[in-house]
Each structure stands twice: as C-alpha cells, then as structure tokens.
Chains A and B, each alone.
Chain A
Amino acid sequence: MNFFARLYYPLRKAWKAVGLYLVIAGPGIVVMVADNDAGGITTYAATGAKYGYHLIWFLLILIPVAYYVQEMTVRLGAVTKRGHAEAIFDGFGAFWGWFSLFDLTIVDWLTLVTEFVGMTAALAIFGLPPWITVVAVIVLMAVIVLNGRYWTFEKLALLFCALNLVYIPGAFLVHPSVRDILRDGLIPNFAGGFDGQLFFFLMANIGTTIAPWMLFFQQSAVVDKGMLEKDIPWGRFDTMLGSIITVVVAVFIVIVTGTVLPGVDIDSAAQAASELMKTDRYVGTFLAIGLFDAGLLGAICISLASSWAFGEIFGWAHSLNTKIRQAPWFYATYFFMLVTAGLVVLIPKAPLVLITLFVQVVAVTLLPAALVFLILLLNDKATMGERCNTMRQNLIGGFIVVSIIVLSTLYGFSVLFPSLFK
C-alpha cells in the first residue's frame, strides 16, 4: 500500500506533464511528419528497394540534423513573435526579403504540384479518377483550415500525422528479418562501395529531410500558436519527438521496400505501392494510403507556409484563429496556391516529371539562404537576448548548415547534370 501511495504522486505529476505536452504539442510534430511528404516517401521507397536495409543507419543520423535546424525556428519564433519571412525582411532588408519570399512561393507551389501528383497517383491505385481526388482534397483542406481556430487545425493535422504511422504495421506484415535489419542497418556501411549513385541517394535523403518551407512553416506556426519563451523547452521536446517519428517512419518504409522489392528501380511511391499490391495486397494498400496521407499533410503545411509569409510581409491578418471575413487575403493566398497546383495535375500531358525535378533545383537556391539567415538571426544578441545561439549551438548548427548546403547543392547539380554522379 505504501508503495502505491508513493507511486501516486510521481504518476500524477507525469500525467500532468503529458496533459500539458498535449496542449503544447503541434508545430514540431506536424512539420516533421509533413516532411515525409509524397517526394519523401518516394525517396525512402527507392532507397529501400535499391540498398535494402544498408542505409538505415544514415537515416538515423538525420534525427539530430533535422532537430538542430528546426529547433532554431522554435526559439526565433517564440522570442521575436515573427514568422521567418518577416524576420528576414526585418533583419536583412527588402532585397533579401523579396528574394526569400519570391523563392519560397515558387518552391512551395511546385512542391504542392508534386504533392497532388502523389495523392492522385495513390488514389488512382484504388481506381479513383484524379479530378475527384483533387476536388476532395481541396474540400477537405478547406474544412481543416476554415474552422477559425489554430488549435483545431493543429489537432486535425496531428490526426493525419498519426495516419502516417501506417507504414509501421505495413513493415510487420512483410515479415522482415530483425537479425538482418540489425546487422545490415545499424552498423554504418556502404553496400556495394561508395559510388556516384549511392552519393545521389544519400543527398536525396538529406534533401527530403530539410526543406525550405519547413523553416517558414514552423516559425510561423509557433507565432500563430502563441508560444512564449517559457514554452521553448516544450517546443524543443515537440521538435525532437517529431524528428524521431519522421525518421522512424522513413526507416519502416525502407524496411518494407527493402524486404519486398530488393533490387527494383523505383521511380515513384505510387509505383512502389502498385508493385507491392502484386505481392501483398494489404502492404500495397498501406503504402498507397500512407502516400496519400503524406501528400495531404505536405499540401496543408506547404500552402500555409506561403500564406503566413505573405500575410506577415503585406500586413494582412494571417492567423488560423481568424475567420475568412477577417483574413480574406490570407485564405485567398492559401486557396490560390492550392487550386492552381491541383489544376496543373489535371492538365493532360503536363510536364510533371520536369516539375518534380525542378522543385529540387529551385529548393537549392532557397535552402542555403534560409539556413544562413537562420544562423545569423539566432546570433543577433539585440533581438534574441539570452536565447541567442551558444558557441556549442553555433558549432553544431554551423556544421549541419554547411553540410546541408554542400550536399543539397551537389544534389541540385546531380539533377541538372545526371551524368556527373554515374
């Protein structure tokens, strides 16, 4: 009895902490899971099919990489109460501000098109025509954002994040060898030697882990949620949990395709799902549902990242806590991006492959700039005060930022000149 009495208070304390976290939880998990968008799922599926379990260790390294970058946006947003676009305009002047906003708009719109490509391809597996998917997605996203409360949006987004975990039971269904996963996946190794193609895959995995829109989205979401400096530890925990979940999901996708489709060249996640349907209907179905969910989450966050950025700069009301009448331009931007991107997918013979490749190239022009601005803003003592980057954070963050810049630039080169890495 005494034992239970002693256990009661720590348990109650822990339960309270979980309750508090569930209130604070959101931007970190949403942005990280949304990072596993349609393009990300394709990359992981292709990685598993090509290299089996051999690159799982590399995916695990991406947990701290994603965390350190996104954590900086939490601090910046909580301290300045400004979104990333506004912070760049304010910190570096109109030239860099317009450059970032213009680049963000192009990258976001093109990425939105790729999300629609993923979603229509995923539901086409179940026989649904693309136009029905596009209309249904737009209606669903309208329902999610037009309720006039950030909190409701966030909890609905978290629900879709939970659906992203569908790959975990999918992996168990294919009965992978745990011994092989531990032996091949957890010890750093380069299967078949380090060649240009492997380098391309490593770069693609990094490229899908940190995307420019993520910086803009999380910082604006932190502001819209009203997070304060005292909430930063929770924001950090949220971001860490999100980065773990996103990599765990990626690992399970690699396990699925590494087990069932070894040696198969995968061009898209939809192709992977169709291939899996032939061997196991349920696993193929899981992959297709996951792909649709990934595209949907990506689309929700990406279109919001742009609308928030425009609202911040043009001085429009730009909060999900406002109704459509109170923030017409904010919602108009959101739906303009969404509807036009959806329509592109419906155009017969639209150059969708070219758009997918172009996204990666244009993203390379924005990502280094956004990351450099992030580090510089986090070192601005006048604004950040005691939340300024420490020497240790600068060393870790600086190393990660330089590595990402170098690798994502090489990735952009490889897309422009594929023969370079063959």
Chain B
Amino acid sequence: MNTLRNLTAKFAAINARYREPRIEMSGAVRFSLLALRVYLLALVALMIYKFVLIVTQG
C-alpha cells in the first residue's frame, strides 16, 4: 500500500514538474503539435478499425 502511495506521489511530482511546456509556443510549434495530435488520433482510429475487422471477420 505504501509503495502504491509512493508511486502515485512520484507521478504527481513528475506531472507538477513538467506541467508547463518550457519551449516557446510559437505558431509553428503549435501547428506541429496540433498536426501530431491529428495524425496520432487518425492512426489510433485506423488501428481500432483493423482490430474490429479482425474480431468481426474471425
């Protein structure tokens, strides 16, 4: 139980330490990160689609 609490505290500390991105959020950086999010979401959607295909088609 203690280990779990320590681990949770560790995660919380890491999240707090890196809460704000240090890099300057210029237009190019914002655009790149947005494009990356869209790309990753599309990829995950494609993988889920493939998974559904495998399950439904046996």
Contact = CB atoms under 8 A, between A and B. Distances in A.
By CB atoms of chain B within 10 A, which of A313, A377, A416 has the most?
Answer: A416
Interface in B38-58: 39-40, 43-44, 46-47, 50
A96 B36 CA distance: 10
Contacts of A412: 43
Nearest to A86: B18
A89 B18 contact: yes
A376 B28 CA distance: 9
Given A368-B36, A372-B32, A380-B24, A94 B14 contact: yes
Contact of A369 (B18, B19, B29, B40): B40
A319 interface: no
Contacts, number: 51
Interface in B1-20: 10, 14-15, 18-20
A369 B46 CA distance: 17
B39 A93 contact: no
B22 A314 contact: no
B36 A94 contact: no
Nearest to A417: B50
Contact of B23 (A91, A97, A313, A369): A91
A182 B10 CA distance: 58
Q: Which of A361, A365, A376 has the most CB of B within 10 A?
A: A376
Interface residues of B, number: 21
B27 interface: no
Interface string A367-396: 011001000110010100000000000000
Contacts of B23: 91-92, 376-377, 380
A369 B33 CA distance: 9
Interface in A352-375: 361, 364-365, 368-369, 372
A376 B29 contact: yes
A416 B19 contact: no
Interface string A122-143: 0000000000000000000000
Contacts of A364: 43
Interface string A58-85: 0000000000000000000000000000
A368 B46 CA distance: 16
A90 B18 contact: yes
A50 B11 CA distance: 49
7 contacts: A91-B23, A93-B19, A94-B18, A376-B32, A409-B43, A413-B46, A417-B50
Interface of A: 89-94, 96-97, 313-314, 361, 364-365, 368-369, 372, 376-377, 380, 382, 409, 412-413, 416-417
